[in-house]
Each structure stands twice: as C-alpha cells, then as structure tokens.
C-alpha cells in the first residue's frame, strides 16, 4: 500500500467538494495553489465557465482529471426521455474526452420519474434492465472514442431517485455482461483498462459485507476511480451531509488497502457534499484539511 503520509501527490479533489468556492475557475486556481495534481469536475460546473475555459485552466495548471462527473441517469418515463438521456451521455463522453479525463463516472438512474418527484413505475427490475441497455448503448460510442466508463454503485438509500445499481457486485455483473474481458486480452495487455469498470466510493459501499471480495473481483482492469469522504454519525441529510475523512466511521485506509491490493494505483479523490459545513468554509481551509486528512487517515 502506498504511503500517503509524506505528501499529497495522489490526492485528487472532486470539485463538488469546493462548491462553496463558487465557480469552477476559482476552485481550480485554489487547487493549483495547494499543489493538488488532479481534479474531477462536474458537468454543471464546467458548463458555467465553458468547456474551452475549463480545458485551458486544466492545461495551464498541468492538472490531471481522475474522472469526470457525470453521465448516467438512463431511466426515463418514455422513449423520448430515454433517447434524450443517450444523447446527453454522448455529450458527456465528448466533454470527458476533451478534458482528457481518466473515465466518465456513471450514476445510472433510479425509478423512472423519481428524481423529478413523479415516479412513473415501481418496477425496479425493469429500471435495472433499462440501465443495462443505456450503458450498453453509451459504451458503443465511448469505446469508439476511447473513453472508459466507470459505473458508480450508490448506497441503496438512493435506489429510487439516483441509482438502482447499489452494490459493487451488481456493477461488476454489468461490466462482465456488457464488456467481457477474455483471459487472452488480459494477458496481452496486463495494464490496459477495460472499457467499462467501476468507481468505488467509500461512502456508498463501506457497509457491504462483500466489499473486500468484490474489490478483489474487480481487479485493476475494472477499478477506475476511488472516492473518499466519511459517513457521519448521525447523518443529518442523505445527500449533502458527507463528512471529511476522519470525522466519521469509515475505515478508509483499510478499504484503500483492498483497492491497492487489487492493483489500483490511481488518485484518491475527495468527494464531499456538505451544504451545512464544508461548503460554508473558505476554500483554502477546505483544501488544506483535505490534504492533512489525506496524509493522515486515507
């Protein structure tokens, strides 16, 4: 396991963590000021300052993108909605490519209509099939331009609104179904990433009794991103009360050990949605705290 205690070269900041800073350009400048080498921006943040401007800032500061957030949300109440989702995912792939992201993260969608507060169906199995179809269609395009897709399983509390892929096992089943890797292709290219893999976010999967085994199953070809924050006790908001690493109950270092044992050697990406706490603090304090916790508890 890599030693993170001496520096923060493997720290990436998911820029949702810095929503309190305002615009993405401010957040990027702050990351650069603190010697952060990688970020993972959100599409709405990029759209606000434009893709071209984001690209320029990323290049000026020599930043890597540990991921791009996000594609997915494949389920819809009708065929037009599903088509629109596929079109949007294609644009997300293009943006990820323009920014040279390591992967496009997929939050796959829940029950159709639920995110908008008008559930059109309670058929969770059908939603999961729709998700598989949406990933399959997007994968054809993503593969053609060389942009890996990373399915992020979300904690089951989000199954209705955001993602009906809720465990790493479920995500890996989809990977194997839609992007099978033969023993030959792995032997030919032992370090090549798969076209479809997973993003392991400790917030979503820390509770899973199968976590260690499923991380081992994923292996280095499927492990495309590693997201960290903490689970606060108590948690006061199901979406926007994520904790800073070390402030909650997740044994982050243990999970990082499993991920690295499986061959992952990429960035540890801090992703904290915190409307009541970290989004209210000065951006320099947030980043300095991320760095300190990255070195001490990640």
Residues within the interface to Zn ion (CB under 5 A): 201, 227, 271
Which residue lies nearer to Zn ion by CB, 8 or 204? 204
- The nearest distance, CB 66 to Zn ion, in angstroms, is 11
Closest distance of CB 55 from Zn ion, Å: 23
Nearest-approach distance from CB 152 to Zn ion, in angstroms: 5
DSSP states of 21-57 as a string?
G-SHHHHHHHHHHTT--EEE-BHHHHHHH-HHHHHHH
Supply the minimum distance, in Å, between the C-beta of residue 125 and Zn ion.
25
Q: How far is the CB of 184 from Zn ion (least distance, A)?
A: 33
In the bound state with Zn ion, the residue whose beta carbon lies nearer, of 201 and 247, is 201
38 DSSP β-pair partners: 12, 64
Distance of CA 47 to the CA centre of its chain: 18
Residue tagged 């949406």 (tokens): 134
Nearer to Zn ion, 147 or 229 (CB): 229
Tell me whether residue 128 or residue 227 sits nearer to Zn ion (CB atom): 227
| CA dist., res. 223 & res. 263, Å (int) | 8
Q: Which of 260/271 has CB closer to Zn ion?
A: 271
Q: In this structure, are strands 64-65 and 11-14 parallel, antiparallel, or unpaired?
A: unpaired
């Amino acid at each position: 396991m890599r030693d993170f205690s001496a520096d923060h070269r493997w720290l990436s900041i998911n820029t949702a963590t810095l929503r309190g800073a305002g615009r993405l350009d401010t957040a990027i400048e702050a990351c650069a000021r603190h010697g952060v080498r990688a970020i993972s921006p959100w599409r709405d943040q990029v759209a606000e300052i434009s893709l071209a401007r984001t690209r320029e800032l990323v290049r000026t500061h020599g930043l890597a993108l540990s991921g791009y957030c996000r594609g997915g949300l494949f389920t819809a109440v009708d065929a037009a909605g599903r088509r629109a989702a596929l079109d949007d995912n294609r644009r997300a792939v293009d943006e990820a490519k323009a920014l040279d992201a390591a992967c496009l993260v997929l939050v796959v969608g829940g029950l159709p209509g639920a995110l908008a507060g008008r559930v059109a169906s309670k058929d969770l199995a059908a939603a999961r099939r729709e998700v598989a179809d949406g990933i399959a269609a997007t994968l054809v395009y993503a593969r053609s331009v060389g942009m890996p897709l990373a399915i992020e399983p979300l904690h089951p509390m989000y199954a209705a609104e955001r993602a009906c892929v809720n465990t790493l096992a479920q995500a890996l089943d989809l990977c194997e179904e839609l992007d099978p890797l033969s023993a030959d292709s792995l032997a030919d290219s032992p370090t090549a990433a798969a076209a479809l893999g997973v993003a392991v976010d400790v917030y979503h999967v820390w509770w899973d009794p199968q976590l260690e085994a499923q991380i081992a199953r994923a292996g280095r070809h499927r492990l495309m991103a590693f997201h960290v924050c903490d689970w606060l006790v108590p948690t006061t908001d199901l979406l926007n009360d994520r904790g800073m690493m070390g402030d909650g109950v997740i044994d982050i270092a243990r999970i990082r050990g499993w991920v690295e044992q499986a061959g992952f050697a990429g960035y540890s990406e801090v992703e904290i949605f915190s409307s009541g706490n970290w989004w209210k603090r000065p951006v320099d304090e947030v980043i300095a705290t991320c760095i300190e916790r990255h070195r001490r508890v990640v």
